[in-house]
Amino acid sequence: MTRTNLHIWTAYVTIILLAGSCTFQPPGYYIALSGSTQGTSYHITYESNDSINYQSEIDTLLRQFDLSLSTYEPASIISRINRDEKNVELSDLFINCYTASRQVFEESGGAFDITVAPVVNAWGFGFTEKSDPDSTMIDSLLQFVGMDKIKLENGKIIKDHPGVMLDVNAIAQGYAVDVVSEYLESKGITNYLVEIGGEVRTTGINPRGQIWRVGIDKPIDGIQIPGMQMEAIIRLKNRSLATSGNYRRFYMKDGVKYSHTIDPVTGYPVSHNLLSATVLADECMIADGFATAFMVLGLEKSEEILKNKKNLDAYLIFTDENGQYDVFYTPGLRKFLLKATD
Ligand code: AMP
Ligand code: MG
């Protein structure tokens, strides 16, 4: 059988819908949808027994999602909390995302922290104008950062100080993937792939009758087109995958690279030899949260966490002492890993 690859371009990963030679299994009828949400694109493919196209329902779901969690939507619940409106009524979407965020905060030793918003904004990666911060400004903003400064009580968010703000962009795409996936499952769909901005969840098989495949990009600074140079391909079986990296969203100033991943302890963009972190978990929001946490923690501390968290797998790309790419991956990933050329 000849090889046919159909690539969909997304952030950090490439979804490979038709790939490789295989024991051919007659495919069912698959529907492919694409659109935009959260400032990025989505691609959804699912097997349909009844030919129903769920695009408008999914777009409505994603719109509801933004009205809860988008910091770019002034009327959203999160924006109202950030403006310090009182007694904001929370949605289930907000509460689930907040609860998962606190879980990843605790399990990552505070590396993942959604209260990092004021510093993310100051560095120019958030929802306000960039302010070229100096160390005095970072120190004063850090007084508003920390999950101990906010709590969820009796269905309401209570902040210690009006300056405390939330940014769930490191977990929201993954959560949106879960929400859409669960919607498809509620319709009895058992073979699907949902991808939003490079965060992916799959169940069952692809149109070729195979386990779904996702390509991980080489982390080359400034390369904006996913799939140009793939590092590896991961077979994703009934699982989610999310990738964080510092090679797409960063800027250079006076020869210094400022990445969009901020260490909530120092208030500064991280700088180390971990170039990209791909995490696999059952839920995409957990994968997404940990991918960001690992980019904060760097290689060694991420490996430590992975030793103790058997529900996570990861594929970490870093530079070695000679400046060459090297990879670390968890043992559980071995049998799902294909070289980019396979
Ligand atoms: P991701 O691409 O999933 O790693 O998310 C990156 C985004 O998360 C950034 O653009 C910020 O909005 C936000 N962010 C940056 N640093 C952190 C952090 N330490 N914890 C939580 N969110 C962060
Ligand atoms: Mg993330």
Check: CB of residue 71 under 8 Å from CB of residue 126. yes
DSSP, res 147: G
* CA 210/CA 193 separation, integer angstroms: 12
Cα separation, 291 vs 287, whole angstroms: 6
Q: Whose CA is nearest to atom 8 of ligand 1?
A: 170
Q: For the chain, first and last CA: distance in Å?
A: 14
Query: What's the gap in Å between 285 CA and the centre of ligand 1?
Result: 13
Give 196-238 as a 3 state SS string.
ECCEEEEECECCCCCEEEEEEECCCCCCCCCCCCEEEEEEECC
Q: Is the CB of 38 under 6 A from ligand 1?
A: no
- The pLDDT assigned to 22 comes to 41
Measuring CA to CA, which residue among 17, 63, 71 is closest to residue 176?
63
Predicted pLDDT of residue 26 = 47
> 94: Cβ below 6 Å to ligand 1?
no
194: which strand partners? 44, 201
Nearest ligand for residue 290 CA: 2
Query: Distances in Å between the alpha carbon of 305 and those of 28, 91, 302, 314?
Result: 40, 31, 5, 11
Distance CA 276, CA 246 (A): 7
> What whole-number distance in Å separates Cα of residue 329 and Cα of residue 313?
8
Q: Whose CA is nearest to atom 12 of ligand 1?
A: 169
The position carrying tokens 């918003």 is 117
| Spacing, Cα 169 to ligand 1 middle (Å) | 6
pLDDT at 220: 77
Residue 199, ligand 1, Cβ within 6 A: no
Residue 162 burial (C-beta neighbours within 10 Å; 0-12, 13-18, 19+)? exposed
261 lines ligand 1 (CB under 6 A): yes
What's the 38 CA to ligand 2 centre distance in angstroms? 13
112: Cβ below 6 Å to ligand 1? yes
Ranges under pLDDT 50 in the chain = 1-10, 18-26
- Name beta bridge partners: 16: 7, 213
- Give this prediction's pTM: 0.92
For atom 2 of ligand 1, the residue with the nearest CA is 244
In sequence order, which residues have a C-beta less than 8 Å from that of residue 39 and are 6 or more positions away?
Answer: 72, 197
